[in-house]
Amino acid sequence: MGQADYIAPMTTAKNSTVIRILGVDSALRCTGFGLIDTDGQQYRAVDCGVIRTSPKEPMSECLRRLAGGVRELAEGYAPDVVALEGGFFFKNAKTAMVLGMARGAVVAALTELRLPIYEYAPRRVKQAVCGYGNAGKEQVALLVAQILKIPVADVKDDATDALALAICHAQTRFTVQGLRLPDPL
């Protein structure tokens, strides 16, 4: 996305509170981000995209750029809260370690800004968006686009996942006055 040309302003009831949620799908080479504004009834996409790092760069440089990119997003868009994808099990220990380091860089950058961070398992995100925990990426992308009223073709997969994280947090936050919210990290 990255362009605000087709994002309509959000109209809300007088007494409703709009919150801005940053969803982050962290990875070393391509981290997805998605920002939404919501009052629990309406959802509006603010921006989404990916933070890319070159495979030619050493891991330390990728982590530095990732932390800097996330920090820049948070400072520029001033989210109220962050939704982050929780860890899941890998057969390959090296892959798990690399993703853990990328996630750590993201968490550290956001923690420095004193933002509350909530973690959601991939199945829970899919269930919140699609109603089915084993939904495929295409189904998640289509429903995210439908919920946010954005063209699905304009959004990269990692950004779609990040928007889905933000939607999941919004639904959890506004359902039963947030009683099902996980503890923040």
Identified catalytic residue from 39, 47, 158, 161:
158
Structural contact between residues 159 and 35, judged by C-beta atoms closer than 8 angstroms: no
Q: Calculate ∠ Cα 81-30-181, nearest 5°.
A: 25
Burial of 71 (0-12, 13-18, 19+ CB in 10 A): middle
Catalytic residue, from 25, 39, 47, 161: name it. Answer: 25
Tokens of 138: 């295409």
Long-range contacts of 58-63 (CB under 8 A, 24+ apart): 59/28, 59/98, 59/101, 62/28, 62/29, 62/102, 63/28, 63/101, 63/102, 63/105
For the chain, the distance separating the N- and C-terminal CA atoms, rounded to the nearest angstrom, is 28
Beta bridge partners of 36: 21, 45
Question: Active-site residue 25, yes or no?
Answer: yes
* 39 belongs to the catalytic site: no
Residues 37, 39, 47, 85: which is the catalytic one? 85
Does the annotation count 72 as an active-site position? Answer: no
Q: Which residues are catalytic?
A: 25, 85, 158
